[in-house]
Structure 1
Amino acid sequence: MASDAAFIYAPGKRADALREALPLRLRAATNGLRSHLDPEAWRAAHESRLGYSEMVFAADALFRYAYIAHSADLPEAGAFLAGQVPLCGEQRDVAPSNETSLVTVPAFHRAAAAVRWVHEGMLPLQPLSTAARIRDEGRARQGGLQSIIDGVPHDGGWQRALALIFSADFVTHAALGSWDWIEDVAQRGFLYLDALKTPSADGLLIQFCRRLSTCVRKGCTADEVERARAALDRCAASWADSVIAGQPWDASLVLLFFCVHAYEQAVRGAMLSVTEASRALLGGAD
Structure 2
Amino acid sequence: MSKQQPSLATLKTELADVTNAADPRLLALAADSRKGAQLLLKQIQRRLERQEIAERAFQERLHYERRFWAEGKLVAGIDEVGRGPLAGPVVTSAVILPQDFDIPLVNDSKQLTPKERARLYPLILAQATAVSIGIGSNTLIDQINIYQATRVAMQRAVLGLGVPPQHLIVDAMQIPVDLPQTRLIKGDAKSASVAAASIVAKVYRDHLMDTYDQLYPGYGFKKNAGYGTAEHLAGLADRGVTPIHRKTFSPVQKIITTQSRS
TM-score range, shorter chain: under 0.3
The structure richer in helix per residue is 1
Q: Which has the higher contact order (CA 8 A, sep 6+)?
A: 1
